[in-house]
Structure 1
């Protein structure tokens, strides 16, 4: 619907964290933007079945995964989406299309690794094992759940930068930590509750924290920048982002309930909604096991904004069905009819 597109554009213009991240060259904006283009291209291919859309999706997928490796979460979602559409439409071409996108992204990363190895003379796979990041995400540090504490660097150095023994220690720690969670479910609930709140509730998603280092060659900051990061403007921006976040989560919740209702009534859910939804769910699961950093979950928050117009529409429909609202509307209609009769 055209109104949905208009509301979406307005919502994105008001997404303060995204605007604050624009000058921050760390890959977030690139991966989010190209990820959104990939969503559109994959949906367009499913609708029109034109090969050019798969070519576009494959190209932007490669760029997005180079910008941020967590793009693999939504790329896995592409694979799941391709399987679901294939099962629904009984056409194997969707599996081939999904495979083409994943293969292009993998080959793009591999090409960069090969180029790095050729130019540097060092292998590209000698870094810190990913399992150590997961182990760190299960730790309590200064009363905070799963925050960065240099555990992975320290453990890697203690094992003389050998991947196998370092990874083994991380696996043993994870097993021990999961055993503690099983023995004390209340502690586990509190730990993951605090971890998810730290990541998903901060309305600016660390955008000011991540961009607050300035290279000014000793010159003082302008009054506007100082106020944005440390003064009155900061408080205003934080409040606006907080209200905005509340609208996004409320609309997402209402739409989720509406979609569950459609599924329960065995009504069809448009396939174009599947891929972003799979990506958001994957991002939520990723935030549970990885380092607690709100910036890492920000892409999935932006993907959720795609559903805000539909969520607001469903909210309006729900309000219109309330008995009190219907009774008031009926009374207004009766009053208008009586007025028309008197005029006649």
Structure 2
């Protein structure tokens, strides 16, 4: 139990440092993107601090007023949150009429080619899936969607993504209840979810990021139920849904690690009697084994399916994952640690040989780490900047994405132009800008509270470990605030707790 507590405190302290850093950056600076360009190029600009402070005071005033009227204790708050989410996402879908872009477009073309029996992107040396075979799970899902709704039916894709977003928001509300069992915190979380425009904007981006969020959040929710209800079926359901999530987006493997860690840590509980330890160990082994079998089993099933279709004896190994890490440690003409094409180039330069590419990437990693060691100030600045460009981006590239996915529409209506490039876009960006500072303020208050108490439930710790894992992984992997977006939304329950604590403190002082 002492080791478990020490481990939890280390995670909490690291998250506190990260949250304070993002909070400070969100007050002093913000990040913007150039429109009418094809690449993700974040730019730091100075924050309008007086306007930000006025906006925050106004937001706190609104929340304090609603709290005084007991609005947050109503279960209707989640209904409001979901209606707002659906209305906003549908507005984007109907106004912008989004279509696939970049990798999303490449995969859409591949799915259509597979539907026509052309598997050359997988079987030919240098093809997209030959290089990135981990995308086969998403392609398989895409073929299922096309079989049901027809090829090129992007409205169907958008609606599926809307469903995934709605499920995610509803589950985060349910997780908030399971973590804190406080209806007021749940209500605050529901209202705060209206500020997650960065998340809702991605309803227009047809890719695995959003589609994987619902099954991943279901996996987290069922694991929380397992730890609270002590029912094995919840643990097994968690394994089923995280396997689906990994099939759609391999980044969800971070959640697999978090789930397994919490199953193990949950087994170590002070109140367990000696005669139940054997039963708990058996349960833990069953759940972890089942989860791993399902995660690797669904990948094997997809690979076997495409081997049978293409006649390949095995799926190509593709570019090694270390090439992403090597790229994530490099300087770039755009933003250091972000995508610069290295992972493609190094595989091509080594004649698409996975082992040789792995050796070259490891050599590059060692070179960069040696440089960081020899010049610690340079290394520190590099890693700090990379952290902030991902985690202190209030829009998570979502406004730039709206630009990309709307370009296929000629003679756009005035409202669409305003939404993507004009005043409406500026208003949305400011809402997200204020939301980030407001949200991280609540997170800092929450983390300070639990560090002071020295206690945190297993349910809370599951999500905190996931967020910590996301921070650590993407500090060395290819950088992008789009990747940080999937963890940002999981901060909501903790931010809501911190905002409630702050409102209580303000209320007490006013009464005095």
> Fold conserved (TM > 0.5)?
yes
Picking from 418, 437, 447, the partner of 1:256 is: 447
Determine the C-alpha separation between the residues in 2 that align with 1:262 and 1:320.
Answer: 22
Identify the residue that residue 307 of structure 1 maps to in structure 2.
Answer: 494
Is residue 188–residue 500 contact of structure 2 (8 Å, CA) maintained in 1? no
Displacement of 1:255 after TM fit? Answer: 0.9
- Go from structure 1 to structure 2 and tell me whether the alpha carbon gap of 1:320 and 1:179 turns closer, same or farther (over 3 Å shift): farther
Question: What does residue 142 of structure 1 align with?
Answer: 333
Matches of 2:502 and 2:315 in 1, distance apart?
50
3-state SS, counterpart of residue 129 of structure 1: coil
Residue 470 of structure 2 corresponds to which residue in structure 1? 283
After TM superposition, the structure 1 = structure 2 runs for residues 134-213 of structure 1, keeping only pairs within 5 Å, are: 134-142=325-333, 144-213=335-404
- Take 2:209 and 2:493, find their aligned partners in 1: how far apart are those partners? 17
The SS at the match of 1:145 is coil
- Partner Cα distance (1:214, 1:247) in 2: 29
CA shift, 1:287, in A, is 1.5
After the TM superposition, which parts of structure 1 deviate over 3 Å for at least 4 consecutive aligned residues?
Answer: 214-218, 316-321
Deviation for aligned residue 1:19: 1.2
Show CA shifts across 1:114-154 (max 9, x none): 21222123432421111011000011112621121111111
Separation in 2, partners of 1:98, 1:7: 34
Quick one: which of 245, 265, 268 aligns to 1:84? 265
Q: Which has the higher contact order (CA 8 A, sep 6+)?
A: 2
Residues paired across the two proteins, number: 321
CA distance in 1, matches of 2:465, 2:407: 43
**Which residue among 104, 109, 118 is the counterpart of 2:299?**
109
SS of alignment partner, residue 212 of structure 2: helix
Over alpha carbons, which structure has the higher Rg?
Answer: 1
CA 132–307 in structure 1, closer or farther in 2 if over 3 Å, else same: same
Give yes or no for contact 2:205–2:405 (8 Å, CA) kept in 1: no
CA distance in 1 between counterparts of 2:318 and 2:394 reads 33
**Partner-residue secondary structure (3-state), 2:205:** coil
In the alignment, what sits opposite 1:99? 289
- What's the counterpart of residue 73 of structure 1? 254
**Shift of the alpha carbon at 1:318?**
5.1
Which segment drifts farther, 233-242 or 207-216? 207-216
Does residue 25 in structure 1 map to residue 216 in structure 2? no
**Correspondence for 1:335:** none
CA contact (8 A) 2:399 2:420 kept: yes
Question: Does residue 270 in structure 1 map to residue 457 in structure 2?
Answer: yes
Provide the rounded CA distance (Å) in 2 between the counterparts of 1:238 and 1:262: 36
Distance 1:6 1:320, change over 3 A: closer
Contact 2:470 2:484 in 1 (8 A): yes
Deviates further, 71-80 or 7-16: 7-16
**Structure 1 residues 158 and 149, CA gap change in structure 2 (3 angstroms):** same
CA distance in 2, matches of 1:207, 1:147: 16
Query: For 2:216 and 2:362, how far apart are their aligned partners in 1?
Result: 32
Unaligned runs of 5+ in 1: 331-344
CA root-mean-square deviation: 1.9
CA 1:32/1:261 → structure 2, altered by over 3 Å: closer, same or farther? Answer: same
- CA apart distance, 1:30: 2.2
Contact 1:79–1:102 (CA under 8 A) maintained in structure 2: no
Gaps of 5+ in 2: 1-181
Q: Higher mean Cα deviation, 226-235 or 1-10? A: 1-10
Separation (CA, whole Å) in 2 of partners of 1:121 and 1:248:
52
Q: CA deviation at 1:295?
A: 0.4
1:242 maps onto 2:433 in alignment = yes
CA distance 1:257–1:95, change in 2 (3 Å): farther
Q: Matches of 2:452 and 2:356 in 1, distance apart?
A: 50
Residue of structure 1 aligned with 2:511, choices 329, 332, 335: 329
